[in-house]
Structure 1
Amino acid sequence: MRNVHFLSTLVAVLFFVGCKSTYLVGGNRSITYSVNADLPADTSIVNYYTPFKTAMEGEMNREIGFSEKFLNKSRTEPEFLIGNFFADALLEIGKKVDPTVEISFSTKGGIRSELKKGPVTVGSLFELMPFENTITILEMKGSDLLILANFIANTGGQPIGGFVMTIKNNQVANLMLNGKTIDPEKSYKLVTYDYLANGGDNVKGLNNPLNRINTPILVREGLIEYVEQLTKENKKINTQLDGRITIIQ
């Protein structure tokens, strides 16, 4: 990966140095200046940041993969394409950290954009996950995994990978992992990101893990590497709706 972590900081820096705001503190006097398009830019600042801006735009526009279809986002459907893509990528990222990881979990609200059909750029994955969230591995009891499953069911489905569930009346009707039901006394390893592991989005079931691994891997950096690896293997993104979450009447 080329300078992706550096660009995260650069985006914020350019925002501030690119502003045209001018103000003056004069003792106890307050002076208000109008900030609008008529205010001339400071050419010394513009000349300073322009090379960085050009480099950033070049990296953001760099094509790293190809999606064979439009990956949509949904707040109402239990399963949707960008959710499946994100969960599958998260699972592969987690397995690189710990090959025994079996499950991935995210929330609908954590996925911030859709993915267009066609070339996939670094910038499109920044839009998908713009936050500084990092990959987290949780080892948890089956009883806590069932609590998480009930949260997923009660909220109408969330992006998951590695297991299959059926929801009825906002409750778990069936939950299978590798063709087997969840054993409340057994331990399982799940990959998510720190915001959710810390209780974000009011997620239930993740707050009492048997073990927790906090990694420095930014989720979007993992996504970029995941897509780049697909391209190296001459594969395109071809995410499907596979029935991993189903709501029955």
Structure 2
Amino acid sequence: MKFYRLAYILLCFFLISSCKTEHYSAKIEEKRIAIDSDIQQDTSITNFIQPYKEHINSVLDSALAYNPSNLSTSDGDLNTAIGNLMADIVLEQANPVFRQRTGHNIDAVLLNYGGIRSTLNKGKVTARSAYALMPFENEIVVAQLTGAKMKEMLQYLEDAGTAHPVSGIKIKMNDNYKIVEATIDGKPIDTSKTYFVATSDYLQQGGDNMAFFNNPEKLYNVDYKLRNAIIDYFRKVDTIEAKVDNRFIRIKDL
């Protein structure tokens, strides 16, 4: 037994001593290559992608509807025509899907003012218009909120004093941006009830500091991108109808 142990030790010593440590070195060089007009175009690549480029541009630039006036986020105090349009689209396009899946209707919609990334110019409305309005991959979700969470939402809107797009809810503020009335379906918000509020997944996850969307009673995925809802709406209407109205207003001398 001692012989085998000794042989094992000698073998290990031989293997260790026979190993050679090799050192490698690498030299790294850098060179700045300017991406400018001096770079020669590879015509084979250009010719390959040209048909696809033409097809995509054709799809994006085909007329879907007509917009009779320029719409921007600066055309109102607490509600704008373009914001109202966006919120109404979510309600109109998502509610049938939500109702079919759950048996409930969406009570209200809340989006964010900063989420509207473009104006909607007078004239032809295209899929490219929708991509400009909503360049993000945001999904429509419906959060079931308690009446207490709804009060938090109203407090958020008070503090913001901003034209966050809403639909299905009517809000009146005084000169100091304090809410004096908030109703859904003509009735004051009831703290003993729950409400189904549609929004984007970005906002539901706390985007734009909308923390009241966190931990809802239940969260429903509609499997509908906000941008796709806009495109589908454009496809089904002939002329865009959008205006500033009384859904979210400030009343003086209250």
CA distance in 1 between partners of 2:61 and 2:201 (Å): 28
**Paired residues of 2:81 and 2:243 also in contact (CA < 8 A):** yes
Q: What are the within-5 Å matches in structure 2 for residues 72-111 of structure 1?
A: 72-74=72-74, 77-99=77-99, 100-111=105-116
CA distance in 2 between partners of 1:220 and 1:237 (Å): 16
1:196 aligned onto 2:203 = yes
CA distance in 2 between partners of 1:121 and 1:88 (Å): 18
Q: What are the within-5 Å matches in structure 2 for residues 1-249 of structure 1?
A: 28-74=28-74, 77-99=77-99, 100-157=105-162, 158-168=164-174, 169-231=176-238, 236-249=239-252
CA distance in 1 between partners of 2:166 and 2:221 (Å): 20
The alpha-carbon deviation at position 175 of structure 1 amounts to 0.3
CA distance in 1 between partners of 2:40 and 2:107 (Å): 56
AA matched with 2:126: T
AA matched with 1:209: P
The alpha-carbon deviation at position 101 of structure 1 amounts to 0.7
Distance 1:83 1:200, change over 3 A: same
The alpha-carbon deviation at position 126 of structure 1 amounts to 0.6
**Paired residues of 1:61 and 1:123 also in contact (CA < 8 A):** yes
Residue ranges of structure 1 left out of the alignment (5+ in a row): 1-25
The list of structure 1 runs, each at least 4 consecutive aligned residues, that deviate by more than 6 angstroms after superposition, is none
Determine helix, strand or coil for the equivalent of 1:137: strand
CA distance in 2 between partners of 1:147 and 1:94 (Å): 24
**Paired residues of 1:140 and 1:188 also in contact (CA < 8 A):** yes
CA distance in 1 between partners of 2:114 and 2:44 (Å): 41
CA distance in 1 between partners of 2:77 and 2:49 (Å): 43
The alpha-carbon deviation at position 171 of structure 1 amounts to 2.5
The alpha-carbon deviation at position 44 of structure 1 amounts to 2.0
The alpha-carbon deviation at position 124 of structure 1 amounts to 0.5
The alpha-carbon deviation at position 76 of structure 1 amounts to 7.5
The alpha-carbon deviation at position 229 of structure 1 amounts to 1.7
Compare CA radii of gyration and give the structure with the larger one.
2
Match of 2:14 in 1: none
The alpha-carbon deviation at position 27 of structure 1 amounts to 5.2
Identity between Structure 1 and Structure 2 (%):
30
Match of 2:16 in 1: none
CA distance in 2 between partners of 1:159 and 1:237 (Å): 17
AA matched with 1:179: G
Match of 2:17 in 1: none
Match of 2:21 in 1: none
Residue ranges of structure 2 left out of the alignment (5+ in a row): 1-25, 100-104
The RMSD of aligned alpha carbons is: 1.7
AA matched with 2:245: D
**Paired residues of 1:81 and 1:239 also in contact (CA < 8 A):** yes
AA matched with 2:121: K
AA matched with 2:54: T
**Paired residues of 1:64 and 1:228 also in contact (CA < 8 A):** yes
Deviations 1:121-143 (A, max 9, x none): 11011100000101111111111
CA distance in 2 between partners of 1:151 and 1:216 (Å): 27
The alpha-carbon deviation at position 153 of structure 1 amounts to 2.0
The alpha-carbon deviation at position 82 of structure 1 amounts to 0.5
AA matched with 2:149: D
The alpha-carbon deviation at position 150 of structure 1 amounts to 1.5
Determine helix, strand or coil for the equivalent of 1:94: helix
The alpha-carbon deviation at position 77 of structure 1 amounts to 2.2
**Paired residues of 1:141 and 1:187 also in contact (CA < 8 A):** yes
**Paired residues of 1:74 and 1:108 also in contact (CA < 8 A):** no
